[in-house]
Structure 1
Amino acid sequence: MTTTPPEPDQPFGAGQTPYPGQQPAQPAYGAYPTGPAGAPRQGPPAPEQPASISLAVKLMGAGAGVSLISLIVSLLGLGSLKDDIARQMREADPSVTQSTIDAAYAVGIVFAIVVGAISVLLWLWMAWKNGQGRSWARVTATVLGALNVVFTLFGFAAGGVETPTLLLSVVNLVLAVVILVLLWRKESTQFFEGHTAARRLY
């Protein structure tokens, strides 16, 4: 009995007729699992965005715009803030220097910019990741949205909010509530579950 020599690019034993009692050559250990047709096995295709997710992503973008406008309004109102800071600091310590007041005012400006920028970036980040169907992003957006609602209501209860800031807070509150409802609709849940299944390794 003769054997067929292996092709140059085939491993030893591939394509050869086994001797009597010899086991056929087995594929290399750790070979990638394949499906019935020999193609690599894959998860189900990722579902497309339903209308609820598409709208939620757009509203998150609108929320980023509202946060940016709020930042601009805050910066425009910092002139009166400096007077308030000076008055409060002089009431607490009549000997306070102008340089100390200026330093406190600068800290207030930096704080307003940082908080506003973080708010804008969070809206955009949540829009991006929820649009990709990341389940953790929906949970994160829910926590952030709930905190947004709570802090806004506390701000209303405290009073002393200027009209432009009050209007922007109301818009922000409505956006947060609507987005949370959209993210937890049935078709939205199916969208997140479908993306989780598509990323799961088999």
Structure 2
Amino acid sequence: MARPLTPIPKLINVSRWLWITSASIGMVRFVSQLFDRETLVAEARRQNPELGQDQIDAGVNGGIMFGLLIAVAFLLAYTRLANAMARGRNWARIVLTVLGAASVAFGLFRLVVFFSGLAAELGVEMRPVDLAVAFVTTVLEAAAIVLMYRASAHFRTRVTVDSAFKPS
């Protein structure tokens, strides 16, 4: 027997796209940092001054490839979680809430550290683009969390529909 199609509430659909957009923005920023090869080479050289240029290049290349794999996996995971949440899966909503709350807390922490001047005192460089990304993703994820819980009936309805189709 086929499952009845229940329309996705607008708030849930917006929340799904906020999650995917936030993950995409974070991935684009991360990938752009990966392609700043000069900075990566300089940092590798600073951390391991005894290594030759071939070793540094190999390490940086491997790090870039690994970083790209992580970025794609991260975006895929967030997209799958957001889609599962949109289909009414409460477990996905909980996972997104935990990940989102941690991300929002970290984003707020970064912004407070920068604007309080603590980052400058500690010698931590925070670029304006990094702050903008932190602000945007923090706002997107906070909004996505709120929207998920504004439409809680979607998850109760979905559980009832799913349980009706489980074999006895």
Determine the C-alpha separation between the residues in 2 that align with 1:166 and 1:88.
Answer: 26
Instruction: Kindly provide the amino acid, as one letter, of the partner of residue 169 in structure 1.
Output: A
Shift of 1:155: 4.4
Match of residue 28 from structure 1:
none
Match of residue 177 from structure 1:
142
- Say if 1:85 and 1:146 are closer, same or farther in 2 by CA, change over 3 A: same
CA deviations 1:71-115 (Å, max 9, x no partner) are 33223323222112212322xxxx332233223322331342133
Instruction: Kindly provide the amino acid, as one letter, of the partner of residue 106 in structure 1.
Output: N
1:200 is aligned to 2:148: no
- The aligned length equals 155
Determine the C-alpha separation between the residues in 2 that align with 1:180 and 1:81.
Answer: 35
Shift of 1:125: 1.0
Determine the C-alpha separation between the residues in 2 that align with 1:115 and 1:153.
Answer: 24
Structure 1's unaligned 5+ residue stretches are: 1-39
Match of residue 18 from structure 2:
59
RMSD of aligned alpha carbons: 2.5
Determine the C-alpha separation between the residues in 2 that align with 1:152 and 1:116.
Answer: 18
Higher relative contact order (CA 8 A, sep 6+): 2
Give TM-score, length-normalised by structure 1: 0.66
Shift of 1:164: 2.0
Determine the C-alpha separation between the residues in 2 that align with 1:114 and 1:162.
Answer: 25
Name the SS of the counterpart of 1:200 in structure 2.
helix
Aligned pairs for 1:57-136 within 5 A: 57-90=16-49, 95-136=50-91
- Say if 1:198 and 1:55 are closer, same or farther in 2 by CA, change over 3 A: same
Structure 2's unaligned 5+ residue stretches are: 114-118
Name the SS of the counterpart of 1:102 in structure 2.
helix
Range with bigger deviation, 160-169 or 136-145: 160-169
**Which structure dedicates a bigger proportion of its chain to helix?**
2
Shift of 1:135: 0.8
Instruction: Kindly provide the amino acid, as one letter, of the partner of residue 141 in structure 2.
Output: A
- Is the radius of gyration larger for structure 1 or structure 2? 1
Percent identity over the alignment is: 26
Instruction: Kindly provide the amino acid, as one letter, of the partner of residue 178 in structure 1.
Output: A
- Say if 1:134 and 1:115 are closer, same or farther in 2 by CA, change over 3 A: same
Shift of 1:117: 1.4
